[in-house]
Structure 1
């Protein structure tokens, strides 16, 4: 079976509004993608049933993104805030299942954004314990839970593949998996290929993002080498495409992600090129 390839919806469109959503999903399905990563959604107000039908009609599996918020943070020293954070994650697990999804990614171990100081003592262990329990719950619901490793400018808690492996071990869960993104790895890893190979046993999502956030063919990341390394190490999970351009994203999302430039103008063309690169790497 060929490896499954996913694409972040924001490569093509800024949000989940129709008719753009349907057109984007049709484009991805025609290109051979089998899954689509959604932008953040509110599980309490989103039309989950309606969206589930749209994904089903296009033959694409949705992948959700789960995060934390001030006052609802699994890494907090406050047990009440920890529980609120865990509750938010469990709610997103339920929403993922309702959408017909089988995977939940995201920065689920703490707050997104550059911290003014190093991670507080105990935050790593607190977050790991909470995520381990949520991952076990998610598994029972048919949802695989991953957590994304970010660079130092977006979190102080987990920046490297080695830290992510330690986090999985500390979680006590056999179901929690790592989400590696080559955009962040280009900042933090001295040996990206080696990091992918060492993480393969607990890798749940390999995301391909180029150093400039645009097309995968141009930048410091050797995309083909990374994909081949993962496959050679026994990884058989999904490979995903992520790229952002200010001309596609909403202004708010662009500001949040520090996307100040128009890194590309044709998301469909970028997605077509990306899946060809993955298939070429897969073929060896």
Structure 2
């Protein structure tokens, strides 16, 4: 069964970014539960920034799961990436992601590698950068497997990375890895920029797709842009997707409106 999720950011440096809730986990859990979401997706500044022992009963109280945890604070706060030419900084990036994997693992939630994939340029060409990314993912995905969850890799749009920007390219990259414990995050905002046909890209991605960022063409909540959702929803049904549709959207015009628009659309598309 396809499930709903909504994002909450705890990263001060990301203020103004595409996350719906910003007032802490207690507030996010309360609001998400009130509206009927199945889960939250957490963007934390570090693995030790969240008291998991305190969060678990809060989640239980509100009958919520954690859909995923983001690693992007490693880039936003510390400028780290898995393709940094400097070996020491690349090691720090891997250690940061590993800590987030363990944090998410305690919540049965996979970690997402998005902005921390970095980019190529200067003395680092594209093939070399992809080699470094593969090396890091081959190291990190088995750690996620120890927690019974995949590692999630997100192709971004051309303005955020120059590595892999389409689902097809990302699927090809997965085939080069030594691990099979990696799934793709299909973000509808990025796909609106890069894919000629979003629905077909989802069909072609098939079982490789493990998570969806459910957002409109302008990165606002569903219904506030010009995205045509009918073929996208059909494609998700065609591939028998049963993961989370998570609202990684700007809190516009405010968090509550973005959340309400998202859950209303989710219920329209996936009535229970």
Residues 106-127 of structure 1 show CA distances to partners (whole Å, capped at 9, x for unaligned) of: 3165238x97899544111220
Q: In the aligned structure 2, how far is the partner of 1:213 from the partner of 1:89? A: 25
Gaps of 5+ in 2: 10-18
1:167 and 1:15, CA in 2 relative to 1: closer, same or farther beyond 3 A? farther
Secondary structure at 2:47's aligned position in 1?
Answer: coil
Corresponding residue for 2:182?
176
Residues 131-176 of structure 1 show CA distances to partners (whole Å, capped at 9, x for unaligned) of: 1331121011123220122111111112111111122112222110
Normalising by structure 2, we get a TM-score of 0.83
Alignment RMSD, CA only? 2.7
Q: In the aligned structure 2, how far is the partner of 1:179 from the partner of 1:3? A: 14
Corresponding residue for 1:255?
none
Corresponding residue for 1:14?
22
After TM superposition, list the pairs within 5 Å mapping 1:1-284 onto structure 2. Answer: 2-9=1-8, 11-16=19-24, 21-62=25-66, 63-67=68-72, 68-69=74-75, 72-98=80-106, 100-107=107-114, 110-111=117-118, 120-245=126-251, 263-265=252-254, 267-282=255-270
Normalising by structure 1, we get a TM-score of 0.80
Secondary structure at 2:40's aligned position in 1?
Answer: strand
Q: In the aligned structure 2, how far is the partner of 1:44 from the partner of 1:23? A: 19
Q: Structure 1 residues 6-15 or 202-211, which shifts more?
A: 6-15
Q: How many residues align?
A: 259
1:65 is displaced (CA, Å) by 0.3
1:122 and 1:131, CA in 2 relative to 1: closer, same or farther beyond 3 A? same
